[in-house]
């Protein structure tokens, strides 16, 4: 059976195209570098601040938050090649002066990088 075909061999045609709000947004990759943000207009006139590059993370250490510089991306669970290109994403392990930390938010959707210090690096 051919996909997208009727039993008679004719094509199925879409009854309408996508509306503007149904299209996917542009994919953003956050890299390690000098801080760079962008403000986007969202639906309903709201604004979203997204990160394009970051070198500072808000790290939670024993319940207190500090702004600490990011040295390097050590490992990324999604894909090891992302760590080689220093991409910041949720779940990535970053190296800081205080030790290793895991990113807990999605920097491509928010204007900052939040992380939690890993217990074995204290």
Domains along the sequence of the chain with CATH: 29-121 (3.10.290.70)
Q: pTM for the full model?
A: 0.80
Q: Which whole number is the average pLDDT over 30-57?
A: 93
Three-state SS letters, the chain = CCCCECCCCCECCCCCCCCHHHCCCCCCCCEECCCEEEEEECHHHCEEEEEEEECEEEEEECCEEEEEECCEEEECCCCHHHHHCCECCCCCEEEECCEEEEECCCCCCCCCCEEEECHHHC
Q: Which whole number is the average pLDDT over 104-111?
A: 92
C-beta neighbour count of 87 within 10 angstroms: 19
Nearest-10 Cα torsion for 112, 20, 22, 11: -150
Confidence of residue 122 (pLDDT cuts 50, 70, 90): low
Task: Supply 82's token pair.
Answer: 């992302």
pLDDT (0 to 100) of residue 46? 95
Q: How far is it, in rounded angstroms, from Cα 92 to Cα 100? A: 10
Q: Which whole number is the average pLDDT over 77-92?
A: 94
Residue 8 pLDDT > 60: yes
Compute the mean pLDDT over every residue in the chain, rounded to the nearest whole number: 91
């Amino acid at each position: 059976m051919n996909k997208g075909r009727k039993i008679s061999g004719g094509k199925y045609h879409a009854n309408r195209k996508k509306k503007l709000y149904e299209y996917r947004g542009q994919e953003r990759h956050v890299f390690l570098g000098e801080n760079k943000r962008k403000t986007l207009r969202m639906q309903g006139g709201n604004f979203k601040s997204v990160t394009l590059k970051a070198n500072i993370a808000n790290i939670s250490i024993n319940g207190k938050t500090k702004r600490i510089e990011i040295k390097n991306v050590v490992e990324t669970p999604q894909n090891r090649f992302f760590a080689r290109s220093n991409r910041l994403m949720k779940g990535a392990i970053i190296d800081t002066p205080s030790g290793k930390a895991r990113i807990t938010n999605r920097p491509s959707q928010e204007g900052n990088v939040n992380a939690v210090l890993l217990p074995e690096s204290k």
